[in-house]
Amino acid sequence: MKIKKYSGEEVQFDQEKLIRSLIASGATREIALEVINEITSKLYEGISSRKIFRLAFQRLKNRSKATAARYNLKSGIMALGPAGFYFEKFIARIFELEGYQTRTNVFVEGNCISHELDVLIKKDNHVAMIECKFHGSYGIKSDVKVPMYILSRFNDVNKKGYKLFSLGDMISKCWLVTNNRFTTDALEFAICSGLSLMSWDYPEGESLRDRVNKFNVYPITCLTTLTMAEKEILLMEDVLTVYDLMHYQKAFSVLKLSQSRMKNVKQECTQLLNR
């Protein structure tokens, strides 16, 4: 059976790949097989991968909301849009958990022009800039023009001293981060040019997905027990992650949830954080 990917490409349906993605979200193989059996009758030639995701997501949600939230991680990160401002702050949070000092949306004067840098990080007296390429749609890859452009910006700022975290800081490294994927040419050019990359599934073991799961730094937008409107309220209050929601007292007060709903939300959050 052929299915249609987000990019529009048609590929053969890979049941084992779906099973692996369900297990990676925390489902047992037994539950993954149950989900597959329940949705099989609803699959048809040319069905979109998005439709398959929704079918599997609903079945997971009926069994474990926390597992469904992990399965919903990519969509949750994509909901940190539409412009990517919250995505930049989310990336900063990940690096904070790795021991970095961080700043977001910093203006600096380069040798040629001024630049607004998405994220700055510092550890062991080394400062790096992070440029975030956020996509609000599935199937879009960042092509080679993106690292070419970012490299030119890095070259304009990397030989100057700034007062960023302390006086005399110099930007000595550049990261390029996306919530989707890079094309092969983009990867080859960035690696050859010395840029550090992070995408949804690259590099293996240290990808965006890997780091989120490693640190349990789940965005609130992946939760299944909150509405999108409630998530927007939290984002505007700078409550970006499930950890924020559980540890900052004001987070729940702005939502005005009933006791039963608050109990459900806290249960999902606890299960996510205690994986």
User: What pLDDT is attached to residue 4?
Assistant: 86
User: What pLDDT is attached to residue 169?
Assistant: 96
Rounded mean pLDDT, 235-240: 93
User: What pLDDT is attached to residue 103?
Assistant: 98
Question: Residue 264 burial by CB count (10 A; 0-12/13-18/19+): exposed, middle or buried?
Answer: middle
- Distances from the Cα of 229 to the Cαs of 41, 105, 237, 247, 258, in angstroms? 34, 25, 13, 21, 16
CA–CA separation, 136 vs 82, rounded Å?
6
User: What pLDDT is attached to residue 108?
Assistant: 97
Look at 14 and 198; give whichever has higher pLDDT. 198
CA–CA separation, 57 vs 91, rounded Å?
25
Q: What value does the mean pLDDT of the chain take?
A: 94
pLDDT at 229 over 90: yes
* Residue the block writes with tokens 């022009």: 113
CA–CA separation, 101 vs 92, rounded Å?
9
User: What pLDDT is attached to residue 139?
Assistant: 83
User: What pLDDT is attached to residue 258?
Assistant: 92
Q: What is the pLDDT of residues 60-82, one digit of tens each?
A: 999 999 999 999 999 999 999 87
Q: What is the pLDDT of residues 92-112, one digit of tens each?
A: 999 999 999 999 999 999 999
User: What pLDDT is attached to residue 138?
Assistant: 85
User: What pLDDT is attached to residue 170?
Assistant: 96
Asked if 188 contacts 143 with a C-beta cutoff of 8 angstroms, the reply is no
User: What pLDDT is attached to residue 64?
Assistant: 93
Q: Output the pTM of the full model.
A: 0.91
Rounded mean pLDDT, 197-224: 96
Lowest mean pLDDT: which of 13-27, 168-182, 193-207? Answer: 13-27
